[in-house]
A and B are shown apart, each in its own frame.
Chain A
């Protein structure tokens, strides 16, 4: 199952076909895209929720210290807190942490740490790993796809075959193998792993886009007027690739959040005590029957973020490439 369906054609905006370099003299087409996106209610709602999540992640240190008066790392194994006028142990004698309450809004984890604070800090790790991983994958995939699609020949054969072979290894197995070997732990390694398993998809998409673009009239015209390869690449191909790149970048961040959380869940991603949504679920798994909040809330955070990214990605795709929607049988 893959979210990455190849885009049928580059962003076709009204009047773009006629001009020599469609999106290069930007302005109008992008304003049109923006207008269409703004009309998409689900996409806009997703964008608003995403902004809130990103803002919460960026402001996590401030929210935790100033508003919640909690820390994601401080243990409260021996402490007691007052809940509804009663004194309660944060972690009881038989190891059961306290559930959601007015003091600790989402409850405590097994070591008595505030779950909400850890969720907010986890957002920083998860979002940073996923988006940086996508950025790196886009850079590599773009370079490989451009070279393969534009120069064809031997370079194309080698790159395409290698990409095909890489795609024959199940994504998760490849990611686990890379993460396990690269001495798991730091954010940088996780970013590298995400990029290494993702660039093949992007390279394949970019190559297909370039192949369909290079035969078009405006590229022929530019070549006939004596434009160099570099000029054609940067001035004519890249601007036309921006649309698909934005769409697949968004969808790839969504996939990366899931993949990063899976790696952390399996113990080869972000390492404790640093919180990530995946390793929080891993830590709570042994107690999910009695302390359900430890596994439930990080899962909801992942689900919400990924749903919003997918909705935003679809809305972008629709705005960039409004397909004729068949209406069904008469």
Chain B
């Protein structure tokens, strides 16, 4: 187990190095001069050369990449080419907003998705089952930004129940204003995901319900409700937890579309603007930050599974 864990951790680091190198390569595949960008419109060639030297851009590309990755490992992501702000600081400021968006959305879609899935598993082909199928089909088929717009139009513009795309901080504006401002984005993400979770819960539960131990429990005369709760749901939810881990991790990397439509200044918006401005340090920082969550979530899932089921062989 220890040997496996060490190899698995090394692999995580390697993935991040590959992600960093690929991002770096994508950006240097095109000729552009970051030094000119930093120096500004009216800089003389001498200034640009000086800036280039100061940023280390005169060194060979592999050396630049190596220096970046080494500094990134110690938490120093460099400075934005555009705003000159430290990248780590910008990420630290944006992350609580992305976190607020993600946590609320996840809670909402679990509250809708899991009960809907349980009901549709217990009553296949009922109205609830069909509703869950409809919602999941809608969720995987609707463009996120468009759904956000439609909800904004209906609930904020026409009905006036919610503010029109603004962000309120939890600490400065208070929890009520915070939730009021974030409810529509939460609901958008919840609508997109709840149906899918309901479907997964349903199919997992149906699968567990056909197993022997459930039949045994029922044959012993245990009440249905307690069999469902103790024998079915507990087994059925494990794969859901795995899926949730991956989804949450990728949302931490920023829900670019939802953040754009609702004007939430989070990680997704930061990354998107950085890409459009060719702000390499900011791009590298946000992409690595996003990838870090996915890699860690993967690791946690693997460790959890091996801990729950020691029969899984040692190959990572």
Residues of A bordering B, CB below 8 Å: 1, 3, 161-162, 164-170, 172-173, 176-178, 180-183, 254, 258, 261-262, 265-268, 278, 281, 285, 288-289, 292, 295-296, 298-299, 302-303, 306-307, 310-311, 325-330
Q: Which residue of B lies closest to A324 (CB)?
A: B210
Is B182 part of the binding interface, using a Cβ–Cβ cutoff of 8 Å? no
22 contacts between A and B (CB under 8 A): A165-B14, A166-B22, A168-B15, A168-B16, A168-B295, A169-B22, A170-B291, A173-B271, A177-B26, A177-B275, A180-B275, A262-B257, A265-B145, A265-B257, A266-B256, A266-B272, A285-B149, A298-B146, A299-B147, A303-B141, A328-B206, A329-B209
Which of B121, B140, B147, B295 contacts A1, CB < 8 Å? B140
Knowing that A168-B298, A176-B275, A177-B283 touch, tell me 6 more A-B residue pairs with CB under 8 angstroms: A169-B291, A170-B254, A182-B30, A266-B256, A267-B276, A326-B210
Q: Which residue of B lies closest to A170 (CB)?
A: B253
Q: A169 and B290 in contact (CB under 8 A), knowing A1-B247, A289-B153, A295-B149?
A: yes
Interface string of B291-308 (1 = CB under 8 A from A): 100110010000000000
Which of B30, B257, B298 contacts A172, CB < 8 Å? B257
Is B207 part of the binding interface, using a Cβ–Cβ cutoff of 8 Å? yes
Which of A1, A173, A329 contacts B224, CB < 8 Å? A329
Q: A165 and B256 in contact (CB under 8 A), knowing A177-B287, A299-B146, A328-B124?
A: no
Q: How far is the CA of A292 from the CA of B146 in the complex (A)?
A: 12
A299-B141 in contact (CB<8A): no
**Distance (Å) between the CB of A260 and the closest chain B CB?**
10
**Distance (Å) between the CB of B75 and the closest chain A CB?**
19
Select the residue from A161, A329, A330 with max chain B CB neighbours within 10 A: A329
**Distance (Å) between the CB of A8 and the closest chain B CB?**
12
Q: How far is the CA of A109 from the CA of B174 in the complex (A)?
A: 41
Q: A306 and B22 in contact (CB under 8 A), knowing A169-B291, A328-B121?
A: no
Which of B147, B193, B276 contacts A180, CB < 8 Å? B276
Contact partners of B121 in chain A: CB under 8 A: 328
A262-B30 in contact (CB<8A): no
Interface string of B92-118 (1 = CB under 8 A from A): 000000000000000000000000000
**Distance (Å) between the CB of B14 and the closest chain A CB?**
7
Contact partners of B207 in chain A: CB under 8 A: 326
Question: How many A-B residue contacts, CB cutoff 8 Å?
Answer: 149
Chain B contact surface mostly: helix
**Distance (Å) between the CB of A50 and the closest chain B CB?**
13
Q: How far is the CA of A173 from the CA of B251 in the complex (A)?
A: 12
Q: How far is the CA of A162 from the CA of B21 in the complex (A)?
A: 12
Q: How far is the CA of A168 from the CA of B18 in the complex (A)?
A: 10
Q: A181 and B291 in contact (CB under 8 A), knowing A164-B15, A173-B254, A330-B218?
A: no
From residue 1 to 47 of chain B, which have CB atoms closer than 8 A to chain A? 11, 14-16, 18-19, 22-23, 26-27, 29-30
**Distance (Å) between the CB of A46 and the closest chain B CB?**
10
Q: A329 and B137 in contact (CB under 8 A), knowing A165-B19, A177-B23?
A: no
**Distance (Å) between the CB of A164 and the closest chain B CB?**
6
Contact partners of B16 in chain A: CB under 8 A: 168
Is B64 part of the binding interface, using a Cβ–Cβ cutoff of 8 Å? no
